[in-house]
Structure 1
Amino acid sequence: MEGKTCCVTGHRNLPQKEIGRVKAALRREIDSAVADGFTRFMSGFADGVDQYFAEIVLEKKKTNPALELVAVIPYQKRLDSLLEKSRTYEMLEACADVVVMQEKYHPNVYSHRNRYMAEHSDRVIAVYDGREKGGTVRTIRFAHQMRKQLREIPVGVIIKPKIM
C-alpha cells in the first residue's frame, strides 16, 4: 500500500448552521493530508460527516488520480441499503475498495468498524462536539491509544464540566 492513510470520524446529525463550516474544514484537512503525503482515505459511510468526507475526497480525486477512497462498512445489510440510493451507490462505485466488517448486524459492529479504521490509518480527522458517549469519542480514544495523528474539527458549543 503506497502512501499514508487517513480516516474520518464524526457525528451523523450536525446542526444545519454548522454543515457549511464543517465541509470547509474537512476540505482544508483533506488538502493538508494530501500535502503531507496521504493518498488513501477511509470513510465508514455513515450519514453526515462520513459521507461529506467521502464526497470531498472523490471530488479531489478528479484532479488527483493518485487519491483512493476506501469504504469501511460495518455489515452487509448496511452496504445493501447504501447501494439502493443513487448518490451513495455512485460514491461506492468510485471507491478503490469496499471493506465489509461483518456479515450480520451485532451491537458492536460500528465500534469494530471504527477501530479498524483507526488501526489502519496514520491520521484520524474527528468532527467532534464534545459528547462523552458515542462512536466519535470512542474513535478519538482509539486514535489516542494507538498513538495516531489526530486532527479535531470542533462543532457547536462544546460544554466543559464546571470545576468546583
Structure 2
Amino acid sequence: MLDGAHQHRLATIDPALAQQIASVGTGPASISVAAVITRSVVESAVATAGAVGPDGPVRGADGPIHVAEAADLSLLNQLSQGVAVDWDSYDAEVAQRHDGNATSPHMNGPLDLDDSADSLRQRLLYMAFYRTALIAELIRFWRQPASPALADIVYCAVAAGFKPIVTSTLNSI
C-alpha cells in the first residue's frame, strides 16, 4: 500500500500476497527476502520456456525462448559476491535479446485475436517476450542493492508466472 489514494500494483493483482509482503517490513529483513525470491525465481526462469504452444516451446531466431538467460544468473552471482556490476552492459545485452523484444514486447504484440495460426503464434511470442521483460525488470531493481523494493520484485515474479516459487520461498523463510 502506498497511501490512501494509491496502491502498489501487487495489491491490484494479489491483495493477500501484498499483505503478506507488507508484513515482512523494510530494511535488512526485506532485502534478504527479496534476494532469496529473486534467486529462486531467476533460477526457475532460466529453465522455463517463455510460452508453450501446440508445437512445443516458442522459438525465436536463436532457439527456444526462455524466461531468463544464463547472463541473468551470472549478474546475480556478481551481485551476491559484491562484485561491481556494469549495468549499462547488462541493459545493452538485454536490449539485444530476441531482436529487442525482451525489453519492448509490445513491438511484437498480436494485431488480431482470431484463431488463425499466425495470430496464435504472435500471441505466444508476445507472452514469451512479456515474461522475459518482467524478469529483466525484476533484476534491474537490484541496481540499488541496499534498497530493492520487495513488492516490486514479487509483482514482477508473479506477473511473469512464478507465484508458486514466490509463495514456496516465502513459506520456507
Task: Tell me, yes or no, whether TM beats 0.5.
Answer: no
Bigger proportion of residues as helix: 2
User: When the two structures are superposed, what TM-score results if normalisation uses the length of structure 2?
Assistant: 0.28
Larger radius of gyration: 2
User: When the two structures are superposed, what TM-score results if normalisation uses the length of structure 1?
Assistant: 0.29
